[in-house]
Amino acid sequence: MAWTVLLVLFTMPTFAGTLDRAGMERQFPAPLVVGERDEAVPVWPILKQEAGAYEIFAYAFESIDLAPIPGFGGTPPNLLVALTPDGSFRDVKVLSHHEPVFLEGLGSEPLFAFVEQYVGLSARRTIRVGRPSARANGASPLAVVDGISMATASTRVINESILAASLAVARQKLGFGAAGKAGLKVEAKQDLYEPRSVAELIERGLVKRVVVTNGEADAAFKGTAVEGQGEGSLEAPLSDLVIAYLNVPTIGRNLLGEERFAALMRELGPGDHAILVVSTGPLNPLGEDFILGSIPDRLTVIQDGLAVNARDMAIERRGGGVEGLPAGPWTILKMVQQAGFDPSAPWTLTQKITRERGQILVERVSREFAAGYALPANLFDREVPEAAATWFDSWKARGWELGLITASFFLLVPVLVRQRGLVADQTRFTAFRLAFLAFTLLFIGWYAQAQLSIVTLVGLVRVAVTNGDLSFLLYDPPSLLLWAFVLATLVVWGRGTFCGWLCPFGALQELAARPAKALRLRQVTVPPSLDRGLRFVKYGVLAAILGAAALASPLADSFSEIEPFKTAITLYFVRTPAFVAYAVGLILLNLFVYKAFCRYLCPLGAALALGGRLRLLDWIPRRAECGSPCQLCKVRCRYGAIAPSGEVDYAECFQCMDCVTIIHDPTQCVPQVVARKRGRTLAPQPMAAE
């Protein structure tokens, strides 16, 4: 066992990018040039020559390096993403994936077409997977890409991988977007205003004054090549800044006056922000060569540890400084809504002070001085964007499906619990069972795509030997809901609740067998010794699949194809002829050997049979006469789950309830028929599990 664990640990995959420089150059051939890979973040700058100089054409990276989100195969998809300097998607390509629905199913072409939709969209916007009719207009912070109807959960994982990786690069390279803030809208309440002087605003903390003295600057440069270059007394200010967030009326109107404040608000777009920085000290924070409308290289707005893109608004500066403040260099910095800036949360203005030495070989040393700024949250209205790029969107979009499936659980459980109720009436119970199986096939299977599969267990094994991230389960809400119910009922009734009631392929087989019964197709009787041997095959199949998954072998995906679920349920039989023939062949075999696949081959059934050994009760009632002399239930059981002794093999029981109906029916149960003739009454009793 120890050697097996060591083998798994040494063979488990590490999620890392696959492209080296040569690989990147193949993806971005000449005239483009691949620059040096960043040491801090795994990003390759892609350069293009313009007017004799090289400019950034895009930042290229692999999603698996930055957002290794496991897909439904248990391993993360890997996508090559190229972001332009303004945050738009230049290119998105699939490098590798293990999504079961695209492996020998739909094929990879639909997935390639899906990711092509991102080209031209902006990482500054929230992107959601939805329907074509749900597309947002160009001004909306929300963008929608068309999903794939039979791969909804997989496309959401792909979308999350692209966005999470892109935002990580954007924060490091493009200066915008804390994760989760794309589309965030925070606006100052315009109806809150109090007339205040500049001194009162500073006293109340609505306006911030920050002073850096010569002594503080000298201390910061101590031990460097430019130490001791300060001039004047140590207590004298070198930099004296006044900082103000102007959107709040109590601040902006008092500093700018009514007309200039109103003009500023008109010039700002919805959700944009303006910050005033005025210098009253000897050091000009903008620099003598500052160009209006550019991004100041000496002033940086930082929030949550990330730099926010703040650009000078190029407002007319004639007439000196801003009204109500001392004269001096000033700027109004603008941050657009998509930058993710939240003025209701604390932020920092960083001023860079540079000193230099030498005239020919100039040596420059810079130090940054930060000033914190925070305003009361009650001055703002916050509009939080929909969490469309996360798993939560999957649950919100499929709420009514989850509600209907949950309602079916509430309908099924009382029927199974109250054995003397509907179950005891064979005619009514048969009608109920057929209706429920039709619901399982048509809604749970073909519509909601909630066919449980061994693929989920493969994904769990792969995750267990890698990063332990189970988030991929959250992208398929109906299946996760079904798993929760199946696991809960497993400890009560065993595997039968799923295999007999909630498996769409199982329902398809049972419904297909009804006409065969009416046509009197002769059933093939499997000899008892052969039947017992064949039942162990499914456990061998289960071991092979999970073993291959633990060893990170691609054979796990191939072995999983023994399940016909993908063909018959997920893809509606729209697949290559070999897979369709296999699925149809199993259904035809079922007409002669009832549910042969479920009994002998199904790896998921094997896993549930093993888990079902934890059940609390042997819940099927038995009598002393069961097995000796009465054999009626054994003969009627189409699954062969009742031994000649009358004992029920719960690992093979599919909870069809036929034997329960018989034992409660005084006209069918042989001991009851005999007892009634003798004027006695028999009461069956469930037996406690040993």
Amino acid at 345: A
Query: Both tokens of residue 499?
Result: 């295999």
C-alpha 179/C-alpha 624 separation (Å) is 66
C-alpha 452/C-alpha 459 separation (Å) is 13
Report which of 56, 10, 13 is spatially closest to residue 34, judged by C-alpha positions.
Answer: 56
C-alpha 353/C-alpha 369 separation (Å) is 8
Query: Both tokens of residue 398?
Result: 């499929």
Query: Both tokens of residue 96?
Result: 């590798």
Query: Both tokens of residue 133?
Result: 């009719």
Confidence grade of residue 2 (pLDDT, cut at 50, 70, 90)? very low
**pLDDT surpasses 70 at 138:** no
- Identify the pLDDT of residue 682: 58
What mean pLDDT comes out for the span 528-554? 90
C-alpha 28/C-alpha 41 separation (Å) is 19
Residue-wise pLDDT tens digits, 641-650? 888 888 888 9
* Cα 570–Cα 574–Cα 580 angle in degrees, nearest 5: 95
Query: Both tokens of residue 325?
Result: 């403040």
Q: What is the mean pLDDT of the chain?
A: 81
> Of the given ranges (298-302, 435-439, 490-494), which has the lowest mean pLDDT?
298-302
Task: Name the burial class of residue 641, with classes exposed (0-12), middle (13-18) and buried (19+) by CB atoms within 10 angstroms of its CB.
Answer: buried
Q: Which helix (H) or strand (E) holds 334?
A: strand 330-335
**pLDDT surpasses 50 at 688:** no
What DSSP assignment string belongs to 423-490?
Answer: GG-HHHHHHHHHHHHHHIIIIIIIIT-----HHHHHHHHHHHTTT---GGGGG-HHHHHHHHHHHHHH
- Identify the pLDDT of residue 388: 42
Q: How far is CA 651 from CA 66, 134, 538, 638, 642, in A?
A: 44, 47, 12, 14, 11
Q: Which helix (H) or strand (E) holds 142?
A: strand 142-146
More confident residue, 518 or 605: 605
Residue-wise pLDDT tens digits, 75-93? 788 999 999 887 889 999 9
More confident residue, 464 or 343: 343
More confident residue, 518 or 176: 518
What mean pLDDT comes out for the span 442-451? 90
- Identify the pLDDT of residue 136: 41
- Identify the pLDDT of residue 556: 82
**pLDDT surpasses 60 at 470:** yes
Q: Nearest 10 degrees: CA dihedral of 393, 395, 397, 403? A: -170
Q: Rank 101-115, 316-330, 345-359 by mean pLDDT and report only the highest.
A: 345-359
**pLDDT surpasses 50 at 492:** yes
β-bridge mates for residue 207, sequence order: 244
C-alpha 530/C-alpha 230 separation (Å) is 96
Confidence grade of residue 305 (pLDDT, cut at 50, 70, 90)? low
Percent of the chain at pLDDT above 90?
Answer: 19
Residue-wise pLDDT tens digits, 139-193? 444 567 776 666 667 787 888 888 888 887 887 777 655 444 545 678 889 888 9
Structural contact between residues 338 and 122, judged by C-beta atoms closer than 8 angstroms: yes
- Identify the pLDDT of residue 73: 67
Percent of the chain at pLDDT above 70?
Answer: 84
- Tell whether omega for the bond before 621 is within 30 degrees of 0, i.e. cis: no
- Identify the pLDDT of residue 135: 42
Structural contact between residues 440 and 500, judged by C-beta atoms closer than 8 angstroms: no
| Model pTM score | 0.57
